[in-house]
Amino acid sequence: MTGLERTLLQIASFLEEHSVPYMVIGGIANLVWGLPRATIDVDVTVWVTEDDIPGLLSSIADQFKILVKDPLQFIQQTRVLPVQVPDGFRADIIFALLPYEQSAIERSVGQVIHGVQVQICSPEDLIIHKIISERPQDLQDVKGIVHQVGSRLDRGYLDPFVHGLASDLERPEIWTTTSSRGRRKTA
């Protein structure tokens, strides 16, 4: 087991122990649904109420090293809490804010990794997360996910989101990025 896998399992086990709804996103989720690539940390999105954040922070501090001085203020400003697990690897705990994020967590898919159930972002929601980015790596990841998952993608869920984002962001090219053929008629 790699250090990154241990980090993933430590974070997932902690969140499960504390009954915190979550999903793994980023490079780890991409390894599940897309083409392999290097990643150096674990990214998880969690759903907790604003009132529950201080208590969760206390529990996190008991088990992991928090990498910022004023974690509550940092979360309020960035919605992210960078932590380090005992063996030195980093994880970013992202505090969801939008109803879409709560829905994506509910749609996450359980995967058993080294005997531990881990909630992984669905391929459709991972595409939605990545499609907004203008980073070339994220767009390559989207193409890899579309290629690997192919016809198993829930197009009835995915396509309206991507079409709306392409229109809202005035970036029609993201619509074609999610097409397995490279081009897709919009109606």
CA distance linking residue 173 with residue 163, whole number of Å: 10
CA distance linking residue 5 with residue 111, whole number of Å: 13
- Determine the 3-state secondary structure of 102 from DSSP: helix
Predicted structure pTM score: 0.88
The answer on pLDDT for 54 being more than 70 is yes
Residues across the chain? 187
Domain boundaries, the chain: 3-121, 127-177
Cα dist. 133→71, 110, 129 in Å? Answer: 26, 25, 8
CA distance linking residue 31 with residue 25, whole number of Å: 10
Fold of 3-121: Beta Polymerase; domain 2 (3.30.460)
Closest-CA residue to 155 (of 175, 135, 132):
175
Cα dist. 181→13, 16, 146, 152 in Å? Answer: 39, 39, 10, 15
pLDDT of residue 131: 87
Q: pLDDT tens across 157-179, in order?
A: 999 988 888 888 888 787 777 77
- Residues facing 80 on adjacent strands: 94
Q: pLDDT tens across 92-121, in order?
A: 999 999 999 999 999 999 999 999 999 999
